Amino acid sequence: MMNTLPKLPFEQSAIFLDFDGTLVDLKPTPDAVIVTDKVKNTLRQINRETNQASAIITGRSVDSLDSLLAMPEFKVSGSHGMQFRFGNSHTVNQHPDVVALPQSLLDECQLFCAEQQLLLEDKPLTLAIHYRDQPFKEQMVERFLNDVINRYSTLKLAVQNGKFIRELKPEFINKASALTYFMNCAEFEGRVPWYFGDDVTDEDAFKWVNNHHGVSVKIGEGASCANYRLESPDGVIEFFQAMLEKGGNQ
């Protein structure tokens, strides 16, 4: 894996970005994240220079991201590819094969998290259990969710692993499926995909990008199939600012 990224020709590229841990630093709770004006301005410039061939692909719901970013002109896929919102629109489209989780399952997860003093995030198409403050409970969370999957087998759910988070989601949905959807849209067709992400939830997207001759960038430490690495969200913004100042292809 290399630390020096190639030059970024905006007019030929499709830019895809994870959010937490990629554009902003991770925080103990999702609501504690702060998006600076520098990040917002950089995203606006990227969107303009790519002629709107850019998108955020996040595990957050679209509503959660919008509450922090407030940039309706930027395309978004939320909940790991279950939701899509296109620029300058307040309409959120849901993946046609995704159904809401039953109330009984939600009740079980709420009870478990209350008993274990864990944070449950209802997105609402997925359920995520956060244990950043109690990392020693990781195996307990995994056992509980695997038991839920077995008992609700007709829903065909899977556990999505993340940094101090485990999430229940449909087994056929991941960030690679979101990439496929976007790259089949007119704005993105024929462009070289670039994907920036920090978590194991981004590995499917890295593999997809590598298989389609794109540029995959891991943010932070840890093993990854990405081809390049940047140290932090600050490094991501610095890279884009440098490319914007150079005109992207000089």
Task: Provide the annotated active-site residues.
Answer: 18
User: What 3-state class would DSSP assign to 51?
Assistant: coil
Beta strand ranges found along the chain (DSSP E): 13-17, 54-57, 75-78, 83-85, 93-94, 119-122, 127-130, 157-162, 165-170, 192-197, 215-219, 228-230
Burial of 72 (0-12, 13-18, 19+ CB in 10 A): middle
In the block, tokens 């991501």 appear at 236
d(CA 197, CA 249): 23
Q: Do 131 and 141 form a contact (C-beta atoms < 8 A)?
A: yes
Q: Do residues 123 and 83 touch, judged by C-beta distance below 8 A?
A: no
Q: In terms of Cα–Cα distance, which of 97, 40, 29 is closest to 73?
A: 40
